[in-house]
Amino acid sequence: MLRNGETFAGEAVGAPAAVSAGEVVFNTVMCGYTEVITDPSYAGQIITFTYPHIGNYGVSSDDSEAARPWCRGVIMRDLAQFHSSWRAESSLEEFMRRNHIAGITGIDTRRLTRHIRDAGSMPGAFGTAEHGDLLAAARSEPGTSGVDLVSSVTTAEPYTVGSGPRHVVAYDLGIKSTILRCLSDLATVKVVPAHTPASEVLESQPDGVFFSNGPGDPEMAVATIEAMKELLGKVPIFGICLGHQLLALALGGRTFKMRFGHHGGNVPILSSATGQIEITSQNHNFAVETGSVPSATETHICLNDNTLAGLEVPDADAFSVQYHPEAGPGPHDARHHFARFAEMMDRSRAKT
């Protein structure tokens, strides 16, 4: 049941749960359900898959983007009863049960998606409880606006990955494993909690600082925004998704909650500088208001709705993109941004 009373009937799957509540969004990928379910950016949300058949190739731990899923539940049209892949370690339903994630299948996901598209993303609840209990849970769910979800997914302690020639500090706002693999090709990466002060980062003399993807309202990540303000101009900065929004806020820009967000693997992005179009992976409910960041150059536009998708601050050696160049899952058109970050760090290091 959605908060507005719209009701859908299906069959409970995954971990048993009387009530699972969260903000209901839809994702349009045709494959990559493991990566989507384990993306920490879905904290606080229930994922609706628009593709009708989910689970047909099972689950491999190599595809996981985090140690465990952070989403509140999964909605599907058809959960495959049998899976077939030489890589599979378990079925999707076994994975969901093991990780305490409830799901519902048999749902008319086309109808649900059209409803969210028209009415906007909203809180909802599903489970085996009575209708009245589900509706009450949906209406009491706060959604993601004004909620700090980053603190629930960030690492508790710093850790290091990779052994590349450069030194990068990565703020974990809900960082994905694929991002860490891409960064590890460039540098030795020290991953730090979201609340880490800038002074502590600068003490380690990094070649660059990375701000990751993450869930929830960017305005709630106050400590990270303050750290970014202090780091700007002192060290090269690269932000992805939530990191892009935080860069805008640190520069005095504005963000807003989108009607139903961008969640999929085939979103076209136009580069204002080159005129080239890249097909990208995206997962965000908030966006940066166009024209609100006076000290930055707007570099990329989403062709689906003309929302701002990229920023650059040449004087401060900082840039960001709203989409996911690491693409887990999705196309690799935009992975060149990691090489761009490496070149920026090398230029900065050469100056000193």
**The one catalytic residue among 71, 182, 241, 302:** 241
**The one catalytic residue among 115, 284, 300, 324:** 324
Between CA 307 and CA 79 the distance in angstroms is: 34
Q: Are 184 and 162 in contact (CB under 8 A)?
A: yes
Q: Are 144 and 7 in contact (CB under 8 A)?
A: no
Between CA 201 and CA 197 the distance in angstroms is: 7
In 3D, which of 30, 28, 19 has the Cα closest to residue 48? 28
Which pair of tokens denotes residue 230? 């202090």
Residue type, 43: A
Between CA 333 and CA 167 the distance in angstroms is: 25
Between CA 320 and CA 323 the distance in angstroms is: 9
Identify whether 241 is a catalytic site residue: yes
SS3 of residue 22 by DSSP: strand
DSSP summary character for residue 330: S
Between CA 237 and CA 254 the distance in angstroms is: 19
Identify whether 71 is a catalytic site residue: no
Which pair of tokens denotes residue 280? 């990208």
**The one catalytic residue among 263, 300, 326, 337:** 326
> Any idea of the CA torsion for 174, 179, 185, 191, to the nearest 10 degrees?
0
Helix axes 222-231, 242-250, angle to 10 degrees: 70
Between CA 290 and CA 113 the distance in angstroms is: 27
Q: Are 26 and 115 in contact (CB under 8 A)?
A: no
| Helix residue ranges, H only, 99-130 | 109-119
Cα 239-245-248 angle, rounded to 5 deg: 95
Identify whether 65 is a catalytic site residue: no
Between CA 152 and CA 161 the distance in angstroms is: 21
Residues with active-site annotation: 241, 324, 326
